[in-house]
Amino acid sequence: MDHFQYRDGQLCAEAVPLARIAEAVGTPFYCYSTATLERHYRVFAEAVAELPATVCFAVKANPNIAVIRTLARLGAGADVVSGGEMMKALEAGVPAERIVFSGVGKTRGEMALALKAGIMQINVESEPELAVLDQVARELGVIAPIAVRVNPDVDAKTHRKITTGKSENKFGIDWTSAREFHARAAAFAGLRIAGLSVHIGSQLRKLEPFREAFARVREMVLTLREDGHAIETIDFGGGLGIPYGDDADDMTSPGPQDYAAVVKAATDDLGCRLIFEPGRVIVGNAGVLVTRVLYVKHGATRRFAIVDAAMNDLMRPALYDAYHAIVPITEPPAGTGIVETDVVGPVCETGDTFGVKRPLPEAGADELLAIRSAGAYGASMSSTYNTRPLIPEVLVRDDAFAVIRPRLSVEEMIAQEAYPDWLG
């Protein structure tokens, strides 16, 4: 459930008509619902409440500090993959002891930043990283708590660009060499092995890949303990999918309760602290991208609605062929004619397409559309391609809204650049 519903013929975010926000801030813009963010977090947290769990929001899904603070006030920790994300999480009020640092390419500076802040743990993904982290920790005179990310070689059956648990992926330590890796890690004076980490991919719509991966994690915990390693935590990553409205599987997608049952079956007697990194499942359906139709163009065989949002604002359709439901802001009256429409942006690439042959009312220029399920990996992946300024992000609570990231102006973009002396 989300809190974007029609009221008196207008699509609203909670009690605020999206058309009212469009009039105030212009289009395109992102809009997030506080009620949806809070509800989705609580549903996940309650699903794992019987487990010894820490829920760390995956900041990469939506790194706006207002979004992070909304979740932090409910008790959320943070899963970060850069020093910048960690600084945002701390700024938003996430306690350092509830922050986990993941990722395959941490720099020395990022490691030092994390260790000085005193975060919960750093998830290590390679032997060279292990050696560098040990050196940084000893230079600072601290012991770095680590979890080794293992790659269970499980097919997540998701898009090839967001699967992370196969043997050919760049993430984690190969399953078959994990014991030897832990033996070498234990020899570093600046490190303390705290746990095990796994993450097999994103937007998973079936439980079986989780079940298979978590069974392997269980076996590895028991084996490592036999080898003398005190495995205290298991970081299960994230990856639980959400309904985008693209197929019948939406009606059967597993929810947090189903997911928690799989975790419980794998860990019930291990006595480990469990860490979860939900991202998309918290924020995905808590946001929409609102855009205005600039022109309606009739091709030889297709009808195009050319909108003012573009692939630089929402990259997912171009990058992953991702589906996002598209709906009119003004609710069409019963009996309104529906026509198949390609919704496209103004960027000069065919990939700048949000939807093909979508059944939409036969609306004309100046109509507002909402691209749904855009709260995750929307604004966070946006760019200034074609010198298009970053667009506003708006947060709604009840009948109020606030701009939580203003629209960047072209003048501000130009001011960030400079001529070299020979062009001055």
Domains detected in the chain: 4-31+285-415 (2.40.37.10), 103-276 (3.20.20.10)
Mention every residue, 6+ apart, whose C-beta is less than 8 A from residue 83.
107, 109, 110, 113, 114
In b/e form, how buried is each residue of 325-363, taking b as 16+ CB within 10 angstroms?
A: bbbbbbbeeeeeeeeebbbbbebeeeebbbbeebebbeb
The one-letter amino acid code at 72 reads A
Q: Which helix (H) or strand (E) holds 394?
A: strand 393-397
For residue 93, the model assigns a pLDDT of: 98
Residue 234: phi, psi to the nearest 5?
Answer: -125, 120
Q: What is the pTM of this model?
A: 0.93
Rg (CA), the chain: 23
The bridge status of strand 29-33 relative to strand 287-298 is antiparallel
For residue 244, the model assigns a pLDDT of: 84
The bridge status of strand 10-13 relative to strand 326-328 is unpaired
CA distance 58 to 44: 13
For residue 240, the model assigns a pLDDT of: 87
The question of whether 348 is a catalytic residue gets the answer yes
For residue 246, the model assigns a pLDDT of: 61
For residue 249, the model assigns a pLDDT of: 46
Mention every residue, 6+ apart, whose C-beta is less than 8 A from residue 225.
231
Q: Is the dihedral of CA 149, 150, 151, 157 positive or negative?
A: negative
Whether the CB-CB separation of 290 and 18 falls below 8 Å is answered with yes
CA distance 263 to 55: 14
12, 56, 272, 348: the active-site residue: 348
For the chain, which ranges sit under pLDDT 70?
1, 154-172, 246-252
